[in-house]
Structure 1
């Protein structure tokens, strides 16, 4: 399982500062993954609560194990699609998502459904990726695995990660979904793909975009792609992790 918490450690700090969880809050975490933000929110909100929602069973299993090990009683995790899940209406005082809102089939419907779970005036704070060409991690991995060759075939599914890259689109989607007072801030932080090139290589090959790009029936071609990937990761190994530049939008809005 890819370690998104380690990858996004710098962004986690920026998100947490903007979130400003208060005691008594009821926090909804969309696309919670392994639940780091959810558990942190539950601790800060006590005696309030935190609910993490994600579609990944394995990640949620890890989140539940961690919560149990940490003795957290005010946190819950639900496997569901936030676009259609029947949330408790107007229950949550604060919403959050760390790169978990870019993959909705119908973004307006999804954000409207999330909004119905928030109390009127409640904030929703999220991080979303800026455009693909502003992500060194994306361009470097694709170039390494493809050998720098262009292709007429569609980009891997990871391209959906940039569905909210245009701030005008973000603003219009949230407005249509019933949010107001949009604040969209440019955030630039490096992301870490592993403590060293060996572990970064193994981690990257778990990603969907990498699996699709090395899915070559020619075993020799696939091996050359993996070798190019390893060389690129070696070049990004700082001795204190394998880091890539990236840019995101920190988006804050309120439910009407």
Structure 2
């Protein structure tokens, strides 16, 4: 087994949550892939780069980074065995040979010193139990002058799926969607927090910019509602409700999402994130 200190997250992503994401990888990519090009552009990946993909999940960003570095190599790292199995399978089917995948915890994974030219992450860096330790370990894995680029969610209220779930407050016990500073989806929602963590981890040239993208959540409002209620937050809420409340919740959520249906019926919601870049300082004489 790999060295893991973030045991709570490891249990979640190797349990129902990881199985759900692996099973629905194409749907989650449809939700989040609008950030792929801005992320990879910001990382400045070139043809021979060695790239680390943090929290790679089922490997879409890993494969896309590999296509930008055809003479290089990309390592995808994740806690989740189910998602990594999907990542390996998809890379093999697509014929992307310059990738590999490892199960591990970025806080303690034994990367080689200076082994990478760049590190990237799409929504994979918010769950660290000790983010300073994790980013410090990643920094040591970058060569001097190596680049870090990641996307993480901005304030919950700026994300359409949160607004959709909040519409259920009259029938379900919807609380806050994470607390800044604690492991979870919105742990890095405050840009000052990002700067503090990366500075403490030894990075320089830190730049945090807001980016937005629409993601596709379903074929229509009914499909999107069923998908949202099957996510971790949705399951948690529905399991705490009686059958009458669950039925009402589906109706309310479907009605909310219907207002976001495009001309073709698909439901598209806006996500707002922080695109962060930083560098490992170059060695000084």
TM-score when scaled to structure 1?
Answer: 0.91
* Kept after mapping to 2: 8 A contact 1:136/1:244: yes
**8 A contact 1:143–1:149 mirrored in 2:** no
Residue 168 of structure 1 aligns to a residue whose secondary structure is: helix
Which of 158, 161, 181 is matched with 1:134 structurally?
Answer: 158
What secondary structure, in the 3-state scheme, does the structure 2 residue paired with 1:193 have?
A: strand
Q: Distance in 1 between matches of 2:166 and 2:178?
A: 10
CA distance in 2 between partners of 1:218 and 1:61 (Å): 36
Is 1:43 the counterpart of 2:67? The answer is yes
Contact 1:156 1:213 in 2 (8 A): no
**1:234, distance to aligned residue in structure 2 (A):** 2.1
Residue 91 (str. 1) matches residue 91 (str. 2): no
**Alignment partner of 2:47: what SS?**
coil
Cα separation, 1, equivalents of 2:155 and 2:102: 30
Q: Deviations over 1:191-222 (max 9, x none)?
A: 22123223322321221111111122522112
The answer to whether the Cα contact below 8 Å between 1:141 and 1:229 also exists between their aligned partners in 2 is: yes
Aligned to 1:221: 245
In the alignment, the residues of structure 2 paired with residue 32 and residue 78 of structure 1 have an alpha-carbon distance, to the nearest angstrom, of: 10
Tell me how far 1:159 sits from its aligned partner. 8.4
- Using structure 2 for the length normalisation, give the TM-score: 0.83
What displacement does 1:188 show? 2.0
SS state at 1:77 partner: strand
Quick one: distance in 1 between partners of 2:100 and 2:134? 21
What CA RMSD, in Å, does the superposition of the two structures yield over aligned residues?
2.1
Q: Does 1:7 align with 2:31?
A: yes
**2:144 corresponds to which of 110, 116, 120:** 120
Q: 1:112 to 1:22 in 2, by over 3 A?
A: same
User: 1:242 maps to which residue?
Assistant: 267
CA distance, structure 1, for counterparts of residue 177 and residue 199 of structure 2: 29
CA distance in 1, matches of 2:195, 2:119: 17
* Aligned with residue 106 of structure 1, among 109, 124, 130: 130
Give the 3 Å change call, closer, same or farther, for CA 148–225 of structure 1 in structure 2. Answer: closer
Q: Which runs of structure 1 show a deviation greater than 6 angstroms over 4 or more consecutive aligned residues?
A: 148-151, 156-159
Deviations 1:155-202 (A, max 9, x none): 579982111111111011001001000111111222221232233223
Q: Unpaired runs of 5+ in structure 1?
A: none
Match of 1:82 among 81, 84, 106: 106
Partners of 2:30 and 2:176 in 1: CA distance: 29
Distance 1:74 1:209 in 2: 35
Equivalent residue, structure 2, for 1:173: 197
Following the alignment from structure 2 to structure 1, what is the Cα–Cα distance between the partners of residues 148 and 254? 39
1:195 aligns to 2:219 (yes or no): yes
1:147 maps onto 2:170 in alignment = yes
CA distance in 2, matches of 1:43, 1:154: 39
How many residues get paired?
Answer: 254
Where structure 2 has 5 or more consecutive residues not aligned to the other structure, the ranges are: 1-22
Aligned partners of 2:124 and 2:136: how far apart in 1?
15
2: CA distance, partners of 1:215 / 1:156: 19
Q: Residue 31 of structure 1: which of 22, 36, 55 is its match?
A: 55
